[in-house]
Structure 1
């Protein structure tokens, strides 16, 4: 079940002894991962740059819908901005839960997909009732041609303190960020109007409050203070722990490492 909504990939509950898998990191792998799985090594259609990897990691060329690992072989699996791309999301999610005990799943939110859409995204994903609701993008009304990602992803997070605080305090506006244990509850192409209305109709106040319940002034202040503290702590941490991934070509030359193809 989904038991936590972290700020980002730097806020995950991973211990030093955990063996960590990352599926589909593309150009932006997580340093903490021990093994990474990448399906498309040459095509950048599903990502914003060429594949990168850290020297300490093992890279395996495989499909995330049929992972070449034993049951619960990993303590933790990270899946960042991948689920929205896959052909069979049910198989993909079940594979995450099969090979790992716990994990982190991040996707664009329903609103995030409107603000920074990608042609390679097949699914729009809503986080509601502690589950992921996946709706096929081709069935959605709306314009997905205007991509404002340069503003909302690449500019404001680095230039605006108030926007950064908004990103941390109301992160679900842009992203679904779910840490889970044992399994993930999900629905693919729902028929229940409780879910379909979010994808196909204007949002009422009742619907808005389902996603963003009212908070007291004290809870609001605590949320902002905690986000500000996290932002400062993470900035200091990133200055003292700098790691840079390398290209696939550099990785293959380094120490004679090879890519495992499954």
Structure 2
């Protein structure tokens, strides 16, 4: 079930001693994650760059739809910008709920997918009634090929304070943020008269207010203050943690290989002396 809507992936309810799994982190893993899983090692079709990993993290080459872990092995599972890529979303969700007790899912929203679509994205996703509703992108009307990600992902988030405030005060406009416990409610390719029009028809005022309920002026001001506070917090954390260095996957695995070779040579030499 859904527990809350975090501001972003730096606002998660992860406890100090939680064991954290991150699936499909690509070039931008969360430092708090203990184990990193990725399906594609030598192919960047599904990400913006080569796999990166922090020195303290453990890497596992695996498919998110078939995870090589025990039931409830992890306290928290992070899936940031991954669900929209998968072949079988039901199986993927089933697996992360099997290996994890709690977690966080983030995906582009329908508007986000329109603004910065990726050819590798298979699903358009909306968060409706605490359910993640997925609709096959190839069935969507409209132009989902022009990609303005350079503006909305790589420029405005770093240059425009009003844009940052928009993302935090109306976060669901472009991103779905879903923190969960025990299970995740999803609907795939809905055909009913309630969910289907969100993907195939013009949005009327009732549909808009369903996704973005009206707020009192007090809640508007509070949302702005909370957003400014969060931006300041992230800037402080970035300055404190600027020495954290990411490694390529090859660099990350090299020390382990070197240590293994040294241990092997040491054992061989000891055997010769004996």
Which of the five TM-score ranges fits, normalised by the shorter chain? over 0.9
Q: Which structure: larger Rg?
A: 2
**Counterparts in 2 of 1:187 and 1:155: CA distance versus 1, 3 Å:** same
In the TM superposition, 1:41-190 aligns within 5 A as 41-190=41-190
SS where residue 11 of structure 1 aligns? coil
Give CA-to-partner distance per residue, 1:65-123, whole Å, 9 cap, x none. 01111110000000000000000000001111110100000000010000000000000
CA contact (8 A) 1:251 1:257 kept: no
How far apart in 1 are the matches of 2:215 and 2:258?
A: 52
- The 1-side partners of 2:30 and 2:240 are apart by 17
Q: Using structure 1 for the length normalisation, give the TM-score.
A: 0.96
Q: Quick check: 1:115–1:147 contact (8 Å CA) kept in 2?
A: yes
Any stretches of 5+ residues in structure 1 without a counterpart? none
Query: 3-state SS of the aligned residue for 1:31?
Result: coil
Q: Given the alignment of the two structures, is residue 227 of structure 1 paired with residue 224 of structure 2, yes or no?
A: no
The alignment status of 1:252 with 2:253, answered yes or no, reads: yes
Where does structure 1 differ by over 4 angstroms across 4 or more consecutive aligned residues? none
If asked which structure has higher relative contact order (CA below 8 Å, sep 6+), I would say 1
- Going from structure 1 to structure 2, the CA distance change for 1:27 and 1:257 (only over 3 Å counts) comes to farther
- Displacement of 1:249: 1.2
Q: Does 1:35 align with 2:35?
A: yes
- Aligned equivalent of 1:239: 239
TM-align CA RMSD = 1.1
Give the deviation of 1:254 after TM superposition.
2.2
Q: CA deviation at 1:257?
A: 7.7
After superposition, the C-alpha distances for 1:138-175 in whole angstroms (9 at most, x for unaligned) are 11011112111111111111111111100111111110
Cα separation, 1, equivalents of 2:158 and 2:217 = 28
**TM-aligned CA deviation for residue 127 of structure 1:** 0.3
1: CA distance, partners of 2:144 / 2:75: 37
3-state SS, counterpart of residue 176 of structure 1: strand
- What secondary structure, in the 3-state scheme, does the structure 2 residue paired with 1:10 have? coil
Give the secondary structure class of the aligned counterpart of 2:194: helix
Secondary structure of 1:9 counterpart = coil
Contact 1:130 1:185 in 2 (8 A): yes
Normalising by structure 2, report the TM-score.
0.92
Shift of 1:50: 0.7
What is the Cα deviation at residue 58 of structure 1? 0.8
